[in-house]
A and B are shown apart, each in its own frame.
Chain A
Amino acid sequence: MSVATAVKKLHDGSKWGNPPELVYDMSRMGFWLFLATELLLFAVLFTAYAVYYFHDPAGFHASAHELSVGFGAANTIILLVSSFTVAWSIEAIKQGNIRLMNILLAFTIGCGLVFLGNKYFEYSHKMHEVELEAVALAKSPALLKDLKEQGKCFTNTAGQEVCRVIPFNVANIGSGDPLTKPAFASMFFFLYFFLTGVHGLHIVVGVALLSWVLIKGLRGEFHPGWYTPVEVGGLYWHLVDLIWIYLFPLLYLVS
């Protein structure tokens, strides 16, 4: 085999008819432009959050209190560490360390899956009825009366009067009446599920994208002269991290 054929067999992105350096530069620029559209998508959702926050700050604070800061903080740390490992994997392939790159990419994918697992537990908790002290519902006598008629209220072992309610009540979305609205505003939970849902979808896409990059990496397609897919996959993963950095304080810490 001549040297020329051996070089041709090496993957370098030049199959599009462009030199790899150009593909590398254009891919990054194009991907940043795509990330800009992603930022604008989330900007709209954050604007919705801001507008409804100003309409009902007290409701938002009471609602945020229902979220687990522990889960949120754990997911923040998972995403920050995975962001670091994916950035490190790019440094590894720049130095030609394919094995380290593969390990770090696999670790990052693992972090993404753990994040989704955490979200599953959080979501299922918010979907089910929780026990709430009847005192907390004092501001909504109509709701308390309804719950009592439905037999949802009882005295627990600690001697407190509690009612079983669903934190996220679809029926109350958009309700502006503080008397009929539950102690925790449903608009907050609508935004919570929408924002974290769209963000979770990005995690799923990111995990799929990095898995594709990892498969290519295991096949030995990357080397210091061609690692554009690793770099671009990494940029997408960092975006997911960027969004979460804002979501965490706004959803979990406004109580």
Chain B
Amino acid sequence: MAGNGKSHVKEMALTLAALLILTVITVWAAHVNFGSLAINIVIAVLIATIKVSLVMLFFMHLRWENKLVVAFAILAIPFIILAIGAIIWDTTIRVGVEKVFP
């Protein structure tokens, strides 16, 4: 079967270590003032995205998957970014950017 043979336990253990370290960094970063609360949230979401990428690449085997499965896996991501991005853009214009990024 595909992906048979080589064991990836070592890579996965390292991934877990990285995820736990990034969790500590997330909690620490939440208590640091980066200028505005909106910037803090952007930083938290960026760290979360790194963690999610690690989970998808190693725990969910995308690093070793065939191209068709990878294509299906990342199919939704541009649409999610488009949907959330467009609505946030619209909302910030309505509410007033100066209120969101003071």
Residues of A near any B CB (own CB < 8 A):
20-21, 24-25, 28-29, 32-33, 35-37, 39-40, 43-44, 46-47, 50-51, 54-55, 57, 61, 69, 73, 76-77, 80-81, 83-84, 86-88, 90-91, 94-95, 224-227, 231, 234-235, 238, 241-242, 245-246, 248-250, 253-255
Contact = CB atoms under 8 A, between A and B. Distances in A.
Contacts of A90: 61
B74 to A, nearest CB: 9
Contact of A249 (B48, B55, B91, B100): B48
A141 B71 CA distance: 56
B41 interface: yes
A249 to B, nearest CB: 4
Interface in B67-98: 68-69, 72-73, 75-77, 79-80, 83-84, 87-88, 91-92, 95
B7 A51 contact: no
Nearest to A242: B52
Contact of B45 (A80, A225, A238, A246): A246
B52 to A, nearest CB: 5
Given A242-B52, A245-B51, A254-B41, A87 B76 contact: no
A24 B13 contact: no
Contacts, number: 145
Going nearest first, the 5 A-B pairs with the smallest beta carbon separation are A36-B76, A253-B30, A249-B44, A84-B16, A87-B59
B23 A73 contact: yes
A238 B12 CA distance: 13
Contact of A94 (B4, B15, B30, B55): B4
Contact of A245 (B5, B38, B55): B55
Contacts of B60: 87, 234-235, 238
Given A32-B73, A225-B1, A50 B88 contact: yes
- Secondary structure of the A contact surface, majority rule: helix
Interface of B: 1-5, 7-9, 12-13, 15-16, 19-20, 23, 26-27, 30, 37-38, 40-41, 44-45, 47-48, 51-52, 55-56, 58-61, 65-66, 68-69, 72-73, 75-77, 79-80, 83-84, 87-88, 91-92, 95, 99-100
Contact of A51 (B37, B47, B73, B87): B87
Given A54-B95, A234-B60, 13 more contacts: A40-B79, A84-B15, A84-B16, A91-B9, A242-B52, A245-B52, A246-B45, A246-B48, A249-B41, A249-B47, A250-B45, A254-B37, A254-B40
A169 B75 CA distance: 39
Contacts of A225: 1
